[in-house]
Homo-oligomer: A and B are copies of this chain.
Amino acid sequence: MQRLFTLIFLFVCAQSFGQSPQQSQLKSWTEEYWQHGLNLLTEIVKMPNDAVYTEQIETNIQWCEQQFESRDWSYERLSTGGIPILLAQKINPNANTTILFYFHIDGQAVDRSQWDQPDPYIPVLKEKDESGYWKTIDFQRLQSEYNPEWRVFARSTSDDKGPFAMFLTAWDVLREKENLPDYSVKVILDFEEEQGSPNLPDAVVKYKDKLAADLMLIMDGPRHSSNLPTLTFGARGIAQMTLTTFGPKLPQHSGHYGNYAPNPALLLSQLLASMKDEDGQVSIPGYYEGIELSEQEKVILAAVPDNDEAIQKRLGIGRTDQVGNTYQESIQYPSLNIRGMRSAWVGPEARTIVPATALAEVDIRLVPESDPERLFSLIRKHIEDQGFHIVESDPSDEERLQYPKIVKLESKISYQAFRTPLDSYAGDWLRSAMNRAFGQEPIQIRISGGSIPISPFVDALKIPAVTIPTVNADNNQHSPNENIRLGNYREGIQTILSVLTEPSNK
């Protein structure tokens, strides 16, 4: 009896979902078209794309325009203070839902001498031999063979031209199979992402109406290190501060003034030590305020198949900061990280002096609960509570004599965090698509530890945003020998197929 109900339920679902192709269908389409996709990938990565050189980028923009043109999309360049953004659209007149896909087409600079291939922009296919060395093989072998572990090496294969080539491939499949999305699609292409997308936030505000959508999908970044299908629902933001403490106006002889002139490196150490406890938890009152992980959220975080022991072994650390109980829990909180420190000279240059200044660079990863203005006001209060007078530029002679302890505080908020709830409509919708593609729940990352420069974009549009990473985590992104694993390229196409065929009106 129960079985009958189940069958009826599945039938009803299938009806209401329209013609959603199932896993086996998506897989066979992918197998059929992926070599077409590989040709697209080969073609796109051959164009150098370092955004420092605008002429390189112009070639890339024209290529992208040509792709949309040939697929009967409308497109336009949105001018910014720098390199334009390309907005392409395929409006479905029957739809009242629009989904915006984000890709970036520029890539990191290349140091040709560091690559194990003649040209970082001429892709090569490689296979790992028994000794673990990546050996070039002929692309021709793909005519008769397929090994998911083989990889294509070239700049931007993973970051981020690969995902765009997957998208074009998936679109071509669905056009030929007459299974195009039941919603309108917008694609935004960023050509300055590796420069920190400096013109994006202003452009988003300026072109808010054109970019309007119900959901934004960020098609960038690597999957979870397990390489299983992944959805990432947010990214931490980032702010910085520089703290400088002051000793004597000029470095002084440590014999004459050691025990007399206050040492700025000691002052800085005392100040930094006062900010965090032995377990690496920030001890500034209120710093973690507003962050409560429910039991349900802890279950979601615990479901991520991290291997904490393996991470610690790889990093060579005998303990971890105790901000959260696990790696995933730890990144749900804002950080306060000393990323650099300097006072006078060390090593062979060390001199017997009391230094004049000591400086610490601190970065703060933000979560949605931690408004950076609030954090900085807590930090300022804490610093003052330690007896410091805060200045914004180097202290005058009068200030030096007036205040026993002085610190210069310079701060900058780069961009805030974003996080889309897992239990939102967007979350349900994407999980449904991924389940259909792979027959299993995706790994769900509540928020990623790192920050991405497109979060101002997300914040400005005020729509839910989710990252769909597809590439392998060991892709050497930002480094020489960037690559994409063939298995990831194929599964990436399959992922996008599932998203494009997910009914919007279920």
Task: Mark A residues whose CB is within 8 Å of B.
Answer: 236, 238, 240, 242, 246-249, 252-263, 265-266, 268-270, 272-274, 276, 278, 280, 311-313, 315-321, 323-324, 327, 330-331, 333, 335, 337-347, 349-355, 358-361, 363, 365, 387, 397, 400-406, 448-451
Contact = CB atoms under 8 A, between A and B. Distances in A.
Contact of A321 (B262, B318, B337, B351): B262
Contacts of A330: 259-260
Contacts of A266: 272-273, 276, 280, 338
A257 B268 CA distance: 23
Dominant SS at the A interface?
Answer: mixed
A449 to B, nearest CB: 4
A263 B338 CA distance: 7
A270 B278 contact: yes
A268 B355 CA distance: 17
Contact of A401 (B238, B313, B333, B403): B313
A246 B327 CA distance: 20
Given A315-B248, A318-B403, A355-B339, A331 B260 contact: yes
A259 B321 contact: yes
A340 B261 CA distance: 15
A208 to B, nearest CB: 28
Taken together, the copies of this chain in the complex come to 2
Contacts of A273: 266, 269-270, 272-274
Given A266-B338, A347-B361, 6 more contacts: A238-B255, A249-B316, A254-B365, A278-B387, A312-B401, A346-B361
9 contacts: A255-B451, A260-B320, A318-B400, A337-B354, A339-B345, A339-B353, A340-B350, A342-B343, A346-B359
Contacts of A352: 238, 339, 363
A346 B342 contact: yes
Contact of A338 (B265, B406, B448): B265
Contacts of A361: 344-347, 350
A337 B269 contact: no
A335 B254 contact: yes
Contact of A262 (B274, B317, B341): B317
A405 B405 CA distance: 30
Contacts of A344: 339-341, 361
A343 B359 CA distance: 10
A318 B270 contact: no
Contact of A258 (B335, B351, B358, B397): B335
Contacts of A351: 339-340
Contacts of A403: 318
Contacts of A315: 248-249, 252, 257, 261
A351 B340 CA distance: 8
A365 B258 contact: yes
Contact of A341 (B246, B342, B405, B450): B342
Which 5 A-B residue pairs are closest in the complex by CB-CB distance? A255-B450, A258-B335, A249-B316, A265-B338, A273-B273
Nearest to A451: B255
Contacts of A240: 350
A231 B280 CA distance: 52
Nearest to A236: B255
Contacts of A313: 401
Task: Specify which of A268, A270, A316, A400 lies most central, judged by the most chain B CB atoms within 10 Å of its CB.
Answer: A316
A14 to B, nearest CB: 41
A258 B363 CA distance: 9
Contacts of A342: 341-343, 346
B259 A335 contact: yes
Contacts of A236: 255
Contact of A260 (B257, B260, B321): B321
A346 B340 contact: yes
B259 A400 contact: no
A260 B350 CA distance: 32
